[in-house]
Amino acid sequence: MDLLQNKLRPEYLKDVLGQEHIIGKGKILNNLVKEKKLFNIIFYGNSGSGKTTIALALMNELKTRYRSLNATVNSKKDFEIVIEEAKMYNGIILIVDEIHRMNKDKQDILLSYIESGLITLIGLTNSNPYHSINQAIRSRCQLIELKALSEEDIIKGLKRVKEVLPDIKMDLKTIKYIASLSNGDIRYAYNLVEFIYYGYNKEVTIENISKTNNKSSFFTDKNEDGHYDMLSAFQKSIRGSDVDAALHYLGRLIVSGDYDSIYRRMIVIAYEDIGLANPGIGPKVIAAIEASERVGYPELIKPLSVVIIEMALSPKSNSANTAIEAAISDIEAGNVGRIPEHIRTTSPNYKYPHNYANYWVDQQYLPDKLKNRKYYSPRKNKFETEMYKFNQSIKK
């Protein structure tokens, strides 16, 4: 069955919903089409944000030869066939959906052809490529994030439904209601409309939707950043040591089903907000995430709740985060200087700390222009206080 979402898929960039940061006059994708150029790109973003649509629209605009595979469904042999076709035609565009699931065998056969330019890779993923995609593939690609569609974008898309279902009975109030349920996912909106259309004699009404759909509308609000607001509230509740608020927002995020965002944010909080005040929390967070992925929903609420409670109740320190930000700020401002001669690779004047009492010897490590710079300031918590006191004591 040809699904509604496929019938309404835009063929050209000008008809794509949202993504104004990359589509439109003078924007990067339109410029690539204008120049008839395409590079290795990974499009990443939430489900239903338009990754596949944009990839196919680019193919239509450029009128180029391409093949489309799925990293999970298609075999290594399928990828080898594409490579042979690329050799035959001196190049091909390969669109790979769910690229974060591409195994090592498939990566190995593609890498050299991507490097030579025989294959131009367009990867699609709803996972963060910085965490989920092999570095060898990632380093050869430009990463472009797609934003979640706003309710206005979803409404615009739903108004197109009449073009393929002219006898549908669906008013503007219902359209707005569906948009509020969709969490920026146009695919979800189209699938819901189609399900109700055929299930209730073409009458897509709020009443009929309510009979069969129990997805709450609190996941987003009129602001397209509603989901990110929830993640922000989640982090700030933990940072503020409000365990009940942290559990509340964790619950909302779990019900929304966006586990990847929960996991990423937990890791950030562990190292940004708790940091050296409880340095063991990072491994505990990773262990809880791994346990959650193994058991799945609904059992994942157990390991997540345990570690979130500890994170909220834990002492907090952002000293490490503040220190590295200050160091990077100096570097970006050009405030660097030459590496001292005695700690360069071939220097005979380096003093090896392990050969000295307390494994420490007085020598300069920072460049001359930064030799008195202090990036790290310990916070008042047990671990940092003791660690810093020890460091100062051996220097005396």
**For residue 388, what pLDDT band results from cuts at 50, 70 and 90?**
confident
Among 88, 123, 145, residue at a domain's last position: 145
> What is the domain range of residue 160?
151-212
Structure confidence at residue 224 as a pLDDT band (50, 70, 90): very low
Residue 283: which residues within 8 A CB-CB, separation 6 or more? Answer: none
Average pLDDT over residues 339-359: 90
**Contact predicate 128/43, CB 8 Å:** no
pLDDT at residue 103, as a whole number: 83
Mean pLDDT of all residues belonging to the chain: 88
Q: Is 114 within a domain? A: yes
Domain membership flag for residue 218:
no
CA of 113: how far to CAs of 40, 74, 80, 126, 153, in Å? 12, 18, 11, 25, 38
Reading phi first (left if > 0) and then psi (alpha if -120 to 50, else beta), residue 257 is in left
Specify whether the CB–CB gap between 202 and 169 falls below 8 A.
Answer: yes
Q: Would the pLDDT of 241 be above 90?
A: yes
Query: Are residue 204 and residue 284 in the same domain, yes or no?
Result: no
Confidence of residue 220 (pLDDT cuts 50, 70, 90): very low
Residue 270 in this model has a pLDDT that exceeds 50 = yes
Co-location of 173 and 187 in the same domain:
yes
Residue 139 in this model has a pLDDT that exceeds 60: yes
User: Is it the case that residue 94 has pLDDT exceeding 70?
Assistant: yes
Determine the average pLDDT of the residues in 295-319: 94
| Identity of the residue numbered 317 | S
- Greatest CA separation found in the chain? 86
| 134 and 203 fall within a common domain | no
CATH of residue 130's domain is 3.40.50.300
Q: What is the reported pLDDT for 1?
A: 56
What pLDDT is stored for residue 215 in this prediction?
54
Residue 394 lies in a domain: no
**Which tokens hold the place of 292?**
């959650």
Kindly indicate the confidence band of residue 278, based on its pLDDT and cuts at 50, 70 and 90: very high
The pLDDT of residue 154 is above 50:
yes
Is the domain of 133 the same as that of 164? no
Q: Chain-centre distance of CA 4, in angstroms?
A: 28
- Last residue of some domain: 94, 111, 145? 145
Q: What is the mean pLDDT of residues 20-36?
A: 91
Instruction: Tell me, yes or no, whether 12 lies in a domain.
Output: yes
pLDDT at 148 over 70: yes
Q: Are residues 122 and 182 in the same domain?
A: no
Question: Same structural domain for residues 75 and 172?
Answer: no
**Residue holding tokens 């629209």?**
57
Q: Cβ–Cβ contacts within 10 Å for residue 330, how many?
A: 15
Mean pLDDT confidence for 242-270: 91
Does the model's pTM come out above 0.85? no
Asked if residue 72 has pLDDT above 60, the reply is yes
For residues 50-70, average pLDDT: 91
Residue 276 counted as domain residue: yes
| pLDDT (0 to 100) of residue 46 | 79
Of 145, 170, 197, at which residue does a domain stop?
A: 145
The answer on pLDDT for 282 being more than 90 is yes
pLDDT at 212: 78
End-to-end Cα spacing for the chain: 78
The total domain count for the chain is: 4
The reported pLDDT for the residue numbered 214 is: 53
Does the pLDDT of residue 2 top 60, yes or no?
Answer: yes
Are residue 16 and residue 130 in the same domain, yes or no? Answer: yes
> How confident is the model at residue 158, as a pLDDT?
93
Give the number of residues written for the chain.
396
Whether 331 is in a domain gets the answer no
Q: Per-residue pLDDT for 222 more than 50?
A: no
CATH no. for residue 290? 1.20.272.10
Three-class DSSP labels, the chain: CCCHHHHCCCCCHHHCCCCCCCCCCCCHHHHHHHCCCCCCEEEECCCCCCHHHHHHHHHHHHCCCEEEEECCCCCHHHHHHHHHHHHHHCCEEEEEECHHHCCHHHHHHHHHHHHHCCEEEEEEECCCHHHHCCHHHHCCCEEEECCCCCHHHHHHHHCCHHHCCCCCECCHHHHHHHHHHCCCCHHHHHHHHHHHHHHCCCECCHHHHHHHCCCCCCCCCCCCCHHHHHHHHHHHHHHCCCHHHHHHHHHHHHHHCCHHHHHHHHHHHHHHHHHHHCCCHHHHHHHHHHHHHHHCCCCCHHHHHHHHHHHHHCCCCCHHHHHHHHHHHHHHCCCCCCCCHHHCCCCCCCCCHHHCHHHCCCCCCCCHHHCCCCCCCCCCCHHHHHHHHHHHHHHC
- Cα dihedral 199, 203, 207, 212, rounded to 10, equals 20
Least confident piece of the model among 91-95, 219-223, 259-263: 219-223
Residue 16, domain member (yes or no): yes
CATH number of the domain bearing residue 177 = 1.10.8
Task: Tell me the C-alpha distance between 284 and 299, whole Å.
Answer: 17
Kindly state whether residues 176 and 132 are assigned to the same domain.
Answer: no
Instruction: Say what the pLDDT of residue 227 is.
Output: 67
- For residues 205 and 132, the model is more confident at 205
Q: Please tell me whether residues 177 and 301 are part of one structural domain.
A: no
Both 165 and 292 in a single domain?
A: no
pLDDT of residue 84: 92
Is residue 205 in a domain?
yes
Same domain, 308 and 365: no
> In this model, does residue 226 exceed pLDDT 80?
no
Residues 51 and 180 in one domain: no
At 316-347, the pLDDT tens digits run 999 999 999 999 998 988 889 899 999 998 89
Q: What is the pLDDT of residue 213?
A: 63
